[in-house]
Amino acid sequence: MIKPHGSETLNPRFVYDQEKHHQLQQEAEGLPSLSLNSAAAANAVMLGSGYFNPLPGYMNLADAVNVAEKMHTTNGLFWPVPILNLTNDISTIKNAKRIALRDPNVEGNPVLAIQDVEAIEEISDEQRKRMTEKVFGTLDNNHPGVATFTSLGNYAISGPIQVLSFSYFQQDFPDTFRTAVEIRNEIQEHGWNKVVAFQTRNPMHRAHEELCKMAKEATGADGVVIHMLLGKLKPGDIPAPVRDAAIRKMAELYFPPNTVMITGYGFDMLYAGPREAVLHAVFRQNAGCTHFIIGRDHAGVGDYYGAFDAQTIFDEEVPKDALAIDIFRADHTAFSKKLGKVVMMRDAPDHTKEDFVLLSGTKVRATLAAGENLPTEFARPEVAKILMDFYQSQ
């Protein structure tokens, strides 16, 4: 099986030993507490899940700036985006060497992790500006990722963590949430050697379904891991339970048995385009996948990134030996009226735009909200029905 990023074996930060877990829970009650923001909580879940291997915890300021500027830590580990625990209020943890990190997304704010505090550093305006510009490619506060990052706080608390909970993800998505450890185990149980990963924060229409099948065939993969984001999104995006139901229905009806795994991970979307695409590749390698699909405007938002910037970053900025996972570069995929099937647009040079069934997101939402059927060339009827029920309930 493909090796994890940066180490021989996967080292999740979750404490699986029951006795040690109980001891840490008891210890946490007597420690100074910090209530995390959602982004820092999501980072803890990803560290606990093994997706952020080999990081032991939150980065210090020097590593965060270096990662933003050069895509590697000060000791040379390749990493595409800063992994930080930011806050505005350090009054409860000043001079503390060990702190309890509390979950902002679960009622009662239970302990999510314990952190050994190596440093508490104030971020300068210039450092924040440079990190924002490098990671997101813009300083525009209308960009949802920029708006979130710049609001998280001026103090970076660095140090290793021991994770005690996967937040709300296990409870809310018991059939879907999987750690990198669990996905690796499932891949082994299936006996798969080559595995294609597909990232989604949206329901999957016909084009996405066929893209997974094309990538599987082109790479000679044994199976596909459909890996959906289960954390916080921007307003207007479809909630995770609805996406989950729609994707499961599509896989159940339209994929051959034992060729697809429906899984999800607990992270808040960054909308960081190319940099986030690289992060996605890192944690799919940690989950045991050998190939990762990157399509048009991967992890993008609005018009902030070029259509294929998330692919070219792997050619222009990611060192050749930085990752073991292979990137499957996909074009925009749509149903061809001429050919009667879904194709990648680059494979149909004789087509005009009118030869494809193309619908904007606005058009799709309006159609579903009106209770009208989407074209079967665009969406499977069973999937469209789940989405229509959601939009009509709003």
Query: 284, 311, 273: which is closest to 221 by C-alpha?
Result: 284
Look at residue 126 and give its three-state secondary structure: helix
In whole angstroms, how far apart are CA 35 and each of 100, 146, 303? 8, 22, 34
Residues 94 and 213 in one domain: no
Residues 34 and 97 in one domain: yes
Percent of the chain with pLDDT over 70: 100
What confidence score (pLDDT) does residue 116 get? Answer: 98
Residue 326 lies in a domain: yes
- Categorise residue 74: left if φ over 0, alpha if ψ from -120 to 50, beta otherwise: alpha
* Confidence class for position 368, pLDDT limits 50, 70, 90: confident
Digit-coded pLDDT (tens) for 190-209: 999 999 999 998 889 999 99
Residue 4 lies in a domain: no
Residues 155 and 226 in one domain: no
Residue 373 lies in a domain: yes
Give the chain's domain count: 2
Asked if residues 208 and 379 have their Cβ atoms less than 8 Å apart, the reply is no
Residues 134 and 175 in one domain: no
**Dist CA 93 CA 286 (whole Å):** 33
Residues 159 and 302 in one domain: no
DSSP for 241-272?
Answer: HHHHHHHHHHHHHHS-TTSEEEEEE-------
Digit-coded pLDDT (tens) for 103-160: 999 999 999 999 999 999 999 999 999 999 999 999 999 999 999 999 999 999 999 9
Digit-coded pLDDT (tens) for 244-276: 999 999 999 999 999 999 999 999 999 999 999
**Dist CA 291 CA 131 (whole Å):** 29
Q: What would the mean pLDDT of 215-233 be, rounded to a whole number? A: 94
* Confidence class for position 77, pLDDT limits 50, 70, 90: very high
Query: 161, 86, 75, 90: which is closest to 131 by C-alpha?
Result: 86
Average pLDDT across the chain, whole number: 95
Asked if residues 7 and 180 have their Cβ atoms less than 8 Å apart, the reply is no
Residues 241 and 365 in one domain: yes
What confidence score (pLDDT) does residue 8 get? Answer: 96
Catalytic residue numbers, as ranges: 201-202
Residues 102 and 229 in one domain: no
Residue 6 lies in a domain: no
What confidence score (pLDDT) does residue 238 get? Answer: 84
Q: Which two tokens stand for residue 67?
A: 């990662």
Write down which residue in 146, 169, 192 finishes a domain.
169
Residues 161 and 180 in one domain: no
Is the sign of the CA dihedral 270, 379, 332, 312 positive or negative?
positive
Q: What CATH number is attached to the domain comprising 78?
A: 3.10.400.10
Residues 124 and 249 in one domain: no
Residue 110 lies in a domain: yes
Residue 7 lies in a domain: no
Residue 148, domain extent: 18-169
Write down which residue in 153, 169, 185 finishes a domain.
169
Write down which residue in 120, 142, 169 finishes a domain.
169
In whole angstroms, how far apart are CA 276 and each of 68, 71, 320, 350? 12, 12, 18, 33
Residues 56 and 120 in one domain: yes
Residues 159 and 212 in one domain: no
Look at residue 130 and give its three-state secondary structure: helix
* Residue type present at position 69: E
Q: What CATH number is attached to the domain comprising 301?
A: 3.40.50.620
Residues 374 and 302 in one domain: yes
Residue 5 lies in a domain: no
